[in-house]
Each structure stands twice: as C-alpha cells, then as structure tokens.
Amino acid sequence: MQQNDLMEKVVSLCKRRGFIFPGSEIYGGLANSWDYGPLGHLLKQNIKNAWWKFFVQEREDMVPLDTAIIMNPKVWEASGHLQNFSDELVECKSCHRRFRTDHLLAAISAKPGYDKEKIRSIKDVRCPDCNGEFTAPKSFNLMFKTFLGTTEDSTTVAYLRPETAGGMFVNFKNVQQTTRRRLPFGIAQIGKNFRNEITPGNFIFRTREFEIGEFEYFINPKDWEKTFEMWLSEIKRWWKDVMCVNMENLVWHEIEEGDRAHYSKRTVDIEYNYPFGLGELHGIAYRTDFDLSRHEKVSGQDLHYTDPETNEKFLPHVIEPTFGIDRMLLVSLLEAYTEEEAPTADEGETEARVVLKFPKHLAPIKVAVLPLSKKEELSSFAKQIAGDLRKNFQVDYDETQSIGKRYRRQDEIGTPYCVTVDFDSLEDKKVTVRDRDTMQQERIEITKLKEYLADKLK
C-alpha cells in the first residue's frame, strides 16, 4: 500500500464508519475542524484513560488537576506567550496566500536540486502556487483572543489557553500544600487547547483546537539528568507496551542547543513516520525553573519549596512531557489499519478484508453480539446476552444482513470479539466467540462468557 493511499483510506474509513467527521459539515464545513463521531469518541476516551492510568493512576508520585481554559492574562505574560508565541509568516504579493516561513524553507530545502547558495533567506524564494514575490516576514501571534463581559477593550481582553501547563504552574503551591507532597512529584492534566495556526492540515495532525495530555514533574535541580532519563524510558514503555506502536516508526530527535528554547537544557522531540512524512508526535523538555521563576516575578508570590529533611529552600525545576491526544489517535489509526485476504465460508476461497488491529484495550467496541437470525425467539435471547455484557463492556448489537458481512463490519472498526448466537444456543446455552485477528471460533458457555471475555480483553 502506498503511504499516501494509507492516509486517504484512513480518512475515508473515519468518515464512513463514524470515527471522525468534517466539522460543521451541513454548513459546508469549517476548514481544518473535525468532530469525533461515536466510535472516535470511544477511541479517544480509551486513549485518554490508558494515558491517565499509565502516567497518573499507577504512580505514587503524580496528582491530577483540571484548570480553566480562560486564565488571567498575566499567566501568559509570565510564560512569555504574549510576547513570543508566534510564527513568522510571509504573504504572496500576487495571490495573497500566506505561508509559515519555516515550513516554506523546509519544503524547499527538501526538493531535489536545492542549492543552499541560491536560497539564503525567504527573500530568495518565490510563491510555490503562482511564482509571485513574498512580502517581508512578519510575526503572527498564535493566541486566540477574546473579551470577558460586554466591553471590548484592553481591560477585558483574555485568551484561550495555548497549553495546559500554565494551569499546573499557577497552582503549584495550592496542590503541593493541600496534598502535602514532597519533591519529586508531578501534576498532570488533560484538556483542550487553542492555537491560531497559520497552516493547519493533514487531517487531525495540525488543528486550531486540540487536546493535550501533559504533566509538570517538579524536582530538585540536582536530579534533573536521571529524572529525564527515567521519563524517556517510561515514554518508550508507553509507546511499546500500551500503544503497541511499531517502534521503527518513531524517531527520538535530540534537539540541538541552538534550536532549544533558551531556558531548556535538554529537549527530545518524539517524531512519527506519518504517510505525509516525518512529523512531530510529542515532546519532553527540561524547563529548569523558568516557569516558576517567571510566575514568581510577575505575581509577586513566593513559590519556593522547602525540603522538610534538609531545610534547603529552592525553586523547583521541571521536566515536562507533553502528548497531543489527537496525534496519538491518528497514530493509533495508522498503525491499526490493515488490508488482508481472509478465508470465506467456501473451502479454499478468500476475500479482502479491512481490519483495524487496535490493541484490544483501545478498541472502541469490545464485543459485538450477532444473532444468526432475526426471528423473535433468537433475537430476544441475543438481546438479553448483549444487555448483560453491556454492564462490563462497550457492546454493539447487529442483526441485519449476512453473518459474513456483519463480521466484516466489525473487523473494519476493530471490534476484538464477535459473539454469534444461533438456534443451538437456545438448547445448549453456548455461543460462538470469534477472534478478530486469528478469526478462530470457540464455543463458550453463556454463564462463562463474561469471564472469558474479561480475561481475553485484559
């Protein structure tokens, strides 16, 4: 399968089966906005729950937080977002299309025949659409501005948050004191963020509204190197054991000193080999005490921490792993999408099937209950089984069309188990359970079905 085909196929499957719809579609859509449909919502929820369990719930050194999207604008003054959170853009003088300068230069340098000597800056570049000249680059702040209340002036201006980190930093003291935590510990949060991207695109890869899962891990600065290594190896474990990603698709990009934020002593970008090329998936940065020291300065509050054992008083340093939830979801779809030949009911015959081979714990629907016939006695019996399974699993019930077609439909959305109820089931109180990946079938007693599935889905 061609890489570009893969992206197209995934986008089309997402629309067709209700994972992801174009936003505001009945009004002609809104560029680069997407809505998560029933299955997309479930998949996203499962990814967030898995992330939360792995990075927060199962650890003794993490606490949760859920802060406001609109914060006091001073937060963004302190963090530097108001002054520096901008991209450089140029506009074509003839067709007026706008480009991010860095994206444009990257695209040009990747082309065959690229001559470093001829293209020293954006001045030497022409519009790829119409060959027009560009304006001088200007800075464009990515913050979404709004106003609080009825008056629109500088006293009521506010911003939608561009990251969740600010909420963790301004609550550091509240959280540390109410939970009586000692360093090291982390504060974690999942939430929506907003950035007025100049060039969004590639489906849900770059959008203006997106979800982040991130945490600030507060440490004594003397421990930064070993803590950074600890989180890097946890992140590897996350991709390998929980997201079950082919590790060859990940690139661990150590950011050079000149390319790092001035305060960061180490940053690693985790990149993924998307069908449209290598791109950022998420990152981990050692941010020193930059954030707390800035918030101390702008708020005038003392945010120092005193070690109860040594009485040493210092400003905690921070290691910050950040994960884009939507990008992780995109990766889970790209990794899961499989086309293969599967045997049919006829001996020796095969047919093509599309399967989303999600890790079972991420699959949106866990079990489908499929009665072999729509006859009342069988469907009411099957509905009872489905109703009972719903107490433990996300269940789909489907009684239309042939059993083969129904299997294909479940394969296509990644349902790990199909439970077929036939007329024998009424007598022997057993059902047939089919495994998505092996397509093996097993006859299971209904009284043991829940236990059987729970064990398989563990």
Q: Which residues bind Zn ion (CB under 5 A)?
A: 92, 95, 127, 129-130, 132
**b/e string for 382-413 if b means 16 or more Cβ within 10 A?**
beebbeebeeebbbbbbbeeebeebbbbbbbb
Residues facing residue 216 across a β-bridge = 187
CA 13 – CA 33 distance, rounded (Å): 17
Residue 30: CB minimum distance to Zn ion, A = 24
The position carrying tokens 């009945």 is 26
Alpha helices (H) along 187-256: 224-237
Which of residues 18 and 132 has its CB atom nearest to Zn ion in the complex? 132
Which of residues 137 and 191 has its CB atom nearest to Zn ion in the complex? 137
The position carrying tokens 């007026």 is 96
Which of residues 135 and 233 has its CB atom nearest to Zn ion in the complex? 135
Residue 95: CB minimum distance to Zn ion, A = 3
Give the DSSP H or E segment for 267: strand 266-274
Residue 104: CB minimum distance to Zn ion, A = 11
Q: How would you classify the pairing of strands 250-254 and 266-274?
A: antiparallel
Residue 329: CB minimum distance to Zn ion, A = 34
Residue 99: CB minimum distance to Zn ion, A = 9
Residue 123: CB minimum distance to Zn ion, A = 15
- The helix, strand and coil proportions of the chain, stated in percent and rounded to the nearest 5, come to 40, 30, 35
CA 208 – CA 234 distance, rounded (Å): 29
Which of residues 130 and 426 has its CB atom nearest to Zn ion in the complex? 130
Under 8 Å between Cβ of 196 and 144: yes
**Phi and psi torsions of 393, nearest 5°:** -135, 160
Which of residues 100 and 366 has its CB atom nearest to Zn ion in the complex? 100
Which of residues 105 and 298 has its CB atom nearest to Zn ion in the complex? 105
Which of residues 97 and 357 has its CB atom nearest to Zn ion in the complex? 97
Residue 159: CB minimum distance to Zn ion, A = 31
Which of residues 92 and 318 has its CB atom nearest to Zn ion in the complex? 92
Under 8 Å between Cβ of 40 and 14: yes
Give the C-alpha distances (Å, rounded to integers) separating 87 from 102, 199, 451. 8, 10, 54
Q: Apex CA 232: angle with CA 231 and CA 238, to 5°?
A: 85
Under 8 Å between Cβ of 351 and 344: yes
Which of residues 94 and 141 has its CB atom nearest to Zn ion in the complex? 94
Residue 208: CB minimum distance to Zn ion, A = 23
Under 8 Å between Cβ of 249 and 273: yes
Residue 125: CB minimum distance to Zn ion, A = 11
